[in-house]
Amino acid sequence: MRQIGLGLVLVGAIAGLLVFWVTTSKTLPPTSFGPGHSELLPQAQVNSRPIDPLIQQHVMERNATHPVGQMLIQYNCRDYECEPGLVRDLEDIVTRFPRTVYLAPFPGMDAKIALAAPGRLEILDDFDEDRIVSFIRDNISR
């Protein structure tokens, strides 16, 4: 009987940890890749549709066959109030750089604007051209 009680306590603890993890985890762009990621890249530098998460992971992959400077600039105007012209302003910045810098919406992301490169993630609450350009320049050769 004692073993059953201990088992129930263990199951309860695991369930509690799972609930805690699910309720506190955030949805953000990847900064690395894992097994099972796609071998495709986004179809365009500026995307009007969200990029598949497995393709986002592939953007983060680095090796001899992948170009340096791949990164994601993503925005969430579904869950956050975006100022008029935000998407156009982001497009203007991204298109100043090589086609390895991708722009796309990311509805459901726990940020208004996210800048992601391998091993690096920056979250912005508002449009900040200087920070975005600085992030891209800091990561374009990586």
d(CA 136, CA 57): 18
| pLDDT of amino acid 11 | 64
Pair of tokens at residue 141: 């050769």
Q: Return the H-helix or E-strand segment holding 123.
A: strand 120-124
Q: Is 90 exposed, middle or buried (0-12, 13-18, 19+ CB in 10 A)?
A: buried
Give domain status of residue 15, yes or no.
no
Whole-number pLDDT of residue 38: 86
CA 18 – CA 130 distance, rounded (Å)? 39
6: in domain: no
Report the domain count for the chain.
Answer: 1
**11 falls within a domain:** no
Question: Is 17 inside any structural domain?
Answer: no
pLDDT digits (tens, 9 = 90+) for 2-51: 667 666 666 666 665 555 544 457 899 999 888 888 888 999 999 999 99
- Domain extent, residue 108, equals 27-139
User: Could you tell me the CATH number of the domain that includes residue 49?
Assistant: 3.40.30
pLDDT tens per residue across span 73-131? 999 999 999 999 999 999 999 999 999 999 999 999 999 999 999 999 999 999 999 99
Do the domain assignments include residue 95?
yes
Helix axes 129-139, 86-94, angle to 10 degrees: 30
Let me know if residue 60 belongs to a domain.
yes
